[in-house]
Amino acid sequence: MPLVKYGTEQANKLKKPLFRFAPSPNGPLHLGHAYSALLNEKLAKAHNGSLLLRIEDIDKARSSKTHIAAIHRDLHWLGLSFKQPVRYQSAHIDEYKPYIQQLKAAGLLYPCFATRGEIRAAPNNGITDPDGAPLYPGLYKNLPKAEQTTRIENGEPYALRLDMEQAINQAKALSNGGLTSSEIGEAGQVTEKPITPERWGDVIIARKDIETSYHLSVTVDDHLQNITHIVRGRDLEASTDIHRILQIILGFEEPLYHHHELILLEKEKLSKSKKHMSLFELRSTGVTAQEIRNAFQKGAGALNALMSHHLKQ
Ligand code: GLU
């Protein structure tokens, strides 16, 4: 079946544009989140579509009820409203399993028993993935089946990794050769971009602790929720290569992507700096939601300026 490109006249007849804002509740929201959420709101309106909120809380160790409550409070304060219901990933863990099975049945997953220390110690010529982590050097990839079974039966914890080389081959066969993602600009123009998922190596599809992963869950949820437009920061642009591979293999329709610029201060990623105030802290110092919206209208530069005027001492 040919893929239908959202945003085209053909697709618009089929589905209503649907956007999502998908924060992970592992810390307070800051101006970078505000930019992303407000851009989703703006583009959803421009496309005459709707906006959903998804809380990406699969990571039990890092997510908390306090952060979830704070996300709702801050988004409400910013004046954002979302089409209901809100999806909490942690309530849908079982829904990811059939897709993991599908990848397994396609011969694309293998159990990996490696500890972090083992991966760090393994020689890999200093190659890193786009997130800067050491590229997985393929430990346990060719473990004999019998040994895999014995280790699993002995209760040894393992992750499931994607055999990226095979996944790329299957995806190429399914999409008649070229592997691309479709990026939509703010003005609505669509550009096909070649993807290079091999730079990620054999990524984890199901973690040892939670039986799923960010990449698998986000791809499945975007499919199950019929998301047509994925608007998120450029820090996630390289991850799109993994998500596209999974979409092609799992037979999902292709969404349009828009990766927006990041709110940066002194070239440092916002979330990593302690000097930056969270939305709640900004609010406590008297910044209003309207001021943030006004800065958003002017662009990322204005939000940067707002941020640098309100640094923590
Ligand atoms: N939950 C992810 C994050 O907060 C974003 C997921 C996405 O937009 O694809 O970084």
Atom index in ligand 1 nearest the CA of residue 232 equals 8
Confidence (pLDDT) at 225? 97
**What's the angle, vertex CA 165, arms to CA 163 and CA 167, rounded to 5?**
65
Return the structure tokens found at 216. Answer: 């698998």
Confidence (pLDDT) at 275? 80
Confidence (pLDDT) at 5? 59
Atom index in ligand 1 nearest the CA of residue 243 equals 9
Atom index in ligand 1 nearest the CA of residue 239 equals 9
Confidence (pLDDT) at 2? 39
Return the structure tokens found at 117. Answer: 């220390």
Pocket of ligand 1, candidates 63, 212, 214, 242: which has the most ligand atoms within 8 Å of its Cβ, to mutate?
Answer: 214
Confidence (pLDDT) at 188? 85
11 Cα–ligand 1 center, Å: 25
Closest by alpha carbon to 258, among 243, 276, 240?
Answer: 240
Distances (CA, A) of 285 to 65, 75, 310, 312: 25, 17, 8, 11
Of the CA atoms within 13 Å of residue 171, those in its CB half-sphere come to 28
Confidence (pLDDT) at 3? 45
Confidence (pLDDT) at 66? 97
Pocket of ligand 1, candidates 24, 87, 235, 258: which has the most ligand atoms within 8 Å of its Cβ, to mutate?
Answer: 24
Answer yes or no: are the C-beta atoms of 45 and 6 closer than 8 Å: no
Q: How far is CA 123 from the centre of its chain?
A: 29
In degrees rounded to 5, what are phi and psi of residue 134?
-55, 135
Handedness of CA 80, 222, 91, 161 (dihedral sign): negative
Return the structure tokens found at 270. Answer: 């916002």
Return the structure tokens found at 221. Answer: 């949820």
Confidence (pLDDT) at 8? 63
The pocket around ligand 1, CB under 6 angstroms, is made up of 22-24, 56, 218, 232, 236
Domains in the chain, CATH or no CATH each: 9-312 (3.40.50.620)
Per-residue pLDDT tens, the chain, 313 aa: give them.
Answer: 334 555 566 655 567 899 999 999 999 999 999 999 999 999 999 999 999 999 999 999 999 999 999 999 999 999 999 999 999 999 999 999 999 999 999 999 999 999 988 988 888 888 999 999 889 999 999 999 999 999 999 999 999 999 999 999 999 999 987 899 999 998 889 999 999 999 999 999 999 999 999 999 999 999 999 999 999 999 999 999 999 999 999 999 999 999 999 997 655 655 555 688 999 999 999 999 999 999 999 999 999 999 988 988 7
Distances (CA, A) of 87 to 58, 63, 104, 265, 277: 12, 15, 26, 32, 27
In degrees rounded to 5, what are phi and psi of residue 203?
-70, 160
Those residues whose C-beta lies under 8 Å from the C-beta of residue 102, and which sit 6 or more positions away, are: 249, 250
Confidence (pLDDT) at 4? 52
Place of tokens 């079982």: 94
Q: How far apart are CA 153 and CA 19, in angstroms?
A: 43
Residue type at position 260: H
Q: How many C-beta atoms surround the C-beta of residue 67 within 10 A?
A: 18
